[in-house]
Amino acid sequence: MRRYYAKFCDHYESLQTETAWLKLFVPYFLWWTFYLVVLLPIIKYIIEVLIKHKEYSGNNIGYAIAVSLFFSVAVSGIKSYGNRKKKKSEQ
C-alpha cells in the first residue's frame, strides 16, 4: 500500500511542473466530471428534497460533462502555460 501511495505522490509532484496541457487535462477532467455527475446531484437532492421539501428535478449529465470539459481545458491550459513560463525563466 505504501508503494502505491509513494507512486501517487511522485505522480502528483510531477504534475506540479508539467508543461504539456494534455497530461494536466486528464486529472482535472476526471475530478470535474466526478464532482458534477456524482457529488453535485447528491448535494442538490439533499437541499431540494430533505431541506426545502420540493420535488427533485434531476440533473443533466450532458451539461455536466460539457462544463467539466470546458473548465478542465481552461485550468490545464493556464497551469501548463504558467509552468512553461516558470521553466523558461529558470533556464
DSSP 30-85: HHHHHIIIIIHHHHHHIIIIIIS--------HHHHHHHHHHHHHHHHHHHHHHHHH
The dihedral over CA atoms of 42, 46, 48, 49, expressed in degrees to the nearest 10, equals 110
pTM above 0.85, yes or no: no
In the block, residue with C-alpha cell 460539457: 66
Q: Where are the domains of the chain?
A: 2-90
Q: What is the per-residue pLDDT across 1-52, written as a single tens digit (0 to 9) for each?
A: 778 777 777 777 777 777 787 888 888 898 888 988 888 888 888 888 888 8
Question: Residue 7: what are its φ and ψ, rounded to 5°?
Answer: -65, -40
Judge whether 40 and 63 are in contact, CB under 8 Å: no
